[in-house]
Amino acid sequence: MSELKYLSGFGNEFSSEDPRCPGSLPEGQNNPQVCPYGLYAEQLSGSAFTCPRPTNKRSWLYRILPSVRHKPYTAMHCGNLTENWDEVEPDPNQLRWMPFTIPKSSEKKVDFVTGLHTLCGAGDTKSRNGIGIHMFTCNTSMVDRCVVLPPFSLSVPQQGEILITTEFGKMMVEPNEICVIQQGMRFSVNVFGETRGYVLEVYGAHFELPDLGPIGANGLANPRDFLTPVAWYEDREVATGYTVINKYQGKLFSSQQVFSPFNVVAWHGNYTPYKYNLDNFMVINCVAFDHADPSIFTVLTAKSSRPGVAMADFVIFPPRWGVADHTFRPPYYHRNCMSEFMGLIKGHYEAKEEGFQPGGGTLHSTMTPHGPDRDCFEKSSTALLKPERVADGTMAFMFESSFSMAVTKWGLETCQRLDKSYYQCWEPLRKHFDPNWRPSKQ
Ligand SMILES: O=C(O)Cc1cc(O)ccc1O
Ligand SMILES: [Fe+2]
């Protein structure tokens, strides 16, 4: 496959034409009486028409046939995808999952949609307030089918690259990259072997770059490093039927059409899919003493209506220097009013060298205590505090959410990956309290 091209920037007003059709973007207006090349104009609105300019998102697609040319939707089997948060009793325990099992293609062919499994979440898509966290484990490309999700979804491939064909063009997303497919965008996923990753769905808010405050104009995830695909179309008739899968109010529906939906010859607008390579994150961290909160590592945030409170933040723990003086450097022990789901793309996580593996996960729910295991505590309390590389060759991440999430039956039982011994990593923590301790005289 030849190198794919991308447009750089975050939330820009982009425009793109498939080079096979020069002049396919109408000039000076969105709705000419007749579009160039006999295309149909279609608007994709990602925000209410009336949103203030900074949050108004829409794109115009110029396509061979409009999306509306399809047979009625019919309900389809949802597999392990759910939005039912009452399947099992609430569980406030610290939860850890071993790497989620990827089906062997010799045994069962599973594509991206069939391979989506809901792990935890909260809220509902009807009121557009909530989130869902899913794992995808698959081994086969989607053939003549695509999917459209109502929420905004952020995908984190962990094993195997994924080629995502969208109405805006194609994106190759490798482990250590993430991609965002926005509400209502149709996409199809090609894989090249056994593939696994994480998906965060946010029901009602766009992902934004966090404000930088006193950091200044640059840093963290820089806008220019976000990449949007360029227009690519196929004029392909599919006599046997092309299936468009629509996730609607938490359930899957399918509809048939006789042509590929990737028939957009040109488009313009500020509502697009995009990808981002986590190596481009400009890390800010403590250079004197104490442990800064992980919000300094926020790549993207989906804000709630409460100032400073996210429906979900996407936070990473990238390779960096640890230099803090007279400080316990690893994550502190804590209880958080936010929920913390963590995944691991590669390597290991500093607070737990063992047990938390790439392709697995942890959930520390609202106010559930957690922190370093015994080994980490003992080592870091006595370590010589010289400048040290932290997390080299690793990439852990966190979906941090203000929702108190429910875990699904699949997550607690069916997947059979729950590590029942997780709590034991804190059992060996012992007392160091010494009532006779006195400050040493300088
Ligand atoms: O729980 C965790 O491991 C994530 C985390 C990391 C950190 O550096 C500080 C707080 C925090 O929740
Ligand atoms: Fe935490």
pLDDT 10s digits, 194-236: 999 999 999 989 999 999 999 999 999 999 999 999 999 999 9
Distance CA 132, CA 151 (A): 9
Task: Return the SS3 of 179.
Answer: strand
Ligand of minimum distance to the alpha carbon of 317 = 1
Mean local confidence (pLDDT), 295-320: 97
**CB-based contacts of 247, cutoff 8 Å, min separation 6:** 81, 147, 148, 149, 150, 253
Global pTM reads 0.97
* Residue 442 binned pLDDT confidence (cut-offs 50, 70, 90): low
The answer, yes or no, to whether any atom of ligand 1 lies below 6 A from the CB of 173, is: no
Indicate whether residue 96 lines ligand 1 (CB < 6 A): no
| Residue 25 CA: distances (Å) to CA of 185, 242, 274, 343 | 20, 26, 21, 41
Residue 1 has pLDDT above 70, yes or no: no
CA distance 34 to 15: 19
275 lines ligand 1 (CB under 6 A): no
Quick: pLDDT tens for 250-267: 999 999 999 999 999 999
State whether the beta carbon of 352 lies less than 6 angstroms from ligand 1: no
Average pLDDT estimate for 108-126: 96
* Cα–Cα distance, 168 to 4 (Å, whole number): 13
Q: Are 365 and 404 in contact (CB under 8 A)?
A: yes
What CA–CA distance (Å, rounded) separates 245 from 123? 22
> Averaged over 305-330, what is the pLDDT?
97
| pLDDT the model gives residue 440 | 86
Q: Which of 256, 116, 265, 125 is nearest to 184 (CA)?
A: 125
Integer-rounded Cα radius of gyration of the chain: 23
| 117 marked as part of a ligand binding site | no
Q: Is 280-421 in the same CATH topology as 12-278?
A: yes
Mutate to test the pocket of ligand 1, among 320, 364, 365, 399 (most ligand atoms within 8 A of CB): 364
The protein residue with its alpha carbon nearest to ligand 1, atom 6, reads: 331
Q: Are 342 and 361 in contact (CB under 8 A)?
A: yes
Instruction: Give per-residue pLDDT as tens, 18-31.
Output: 999 999 999 999 99
Ligand 1 probe mutation, 95, 286, 317, most atoms within 8 A of CB: 317
- What tokens appear for 159 in the block? 């094993």
Task: Report pLDDT for 8.
Answer: 98
Query: Average pLDDT, whole number, for the chain?
Result: 96
Please state the rounded mean pLDDT for residues 27-55: 97
Distance 293 CA to ligand 2 centre (A): 9
Would you call 44 helix, strand, or coil by DSSP?
strand
pLDDT given for residue 350 in this prediction: 82
HSE-CB of 355 using CA atoms within 13 angstroms? 21
pLDDT of residue 32: 98
Instruction: Collapse the DSSP code of 57 into the 3-class scheme (helix H, G, I; strand E, B; otherwise coil) and give the result.
Output: coil
Q: Is the CB of 370 under 6 A from ligand 1?
A: yes
ipTM rounded to 2 decimals: 0.98
pLDDT digit string, tens, across residues 135-194: 999 999 999 999 998 777 899 999 999 999 999 999 999 999 999 999 999 999 999 999
Q: How confident is the model at residue 409 (pLDDT cuts 50, 70, 90)?
A: very high
Domains in the chain: boundaries: 12-278, 280-421
Q: What is the pLDDT of residues 62-92, one digit of tens each?
A: 999 999 999 999 999 999 999 999 999 999 9
**Which ligand has its closest atom nearest to the C-alpha of 398?**
1
For residues 244 and 258, what is the distance between their CA atoms, to the nearest angstrom?
Answer: 11
The residues annotated with a catalytic role in the active site are: 291
Selection from 183, 387, 140, 181 nearest residue 286 by Cα: 387
Give one word for 17, left, alpha or beta, with left for phi > 0 and alpha for psi -120 to 50. Answer: beta
d(CA 235, CA 255): 19
**Picking from 124-128, 356-360, 383-387, which range would have the lowest pLDDT averaged per residue?**
124-128
Whether residue 127 is predicted with pLDDT greater than 90 in this model: the reply is: yes
Domain 280-421: give its CATH superfamily: Jelly Rolls (2.60.120.10)
Q: Which of 332, 337, 397 to mutate to test the pocket of ligand 1 (most atoms within 8 A of CB)?
A: 332
The yes/no answer on whether domain 12-278 falls in CATH 3.40.50.1360 is no
Half-sphere exposure of 441 (CA within 13 A, CB side): 0
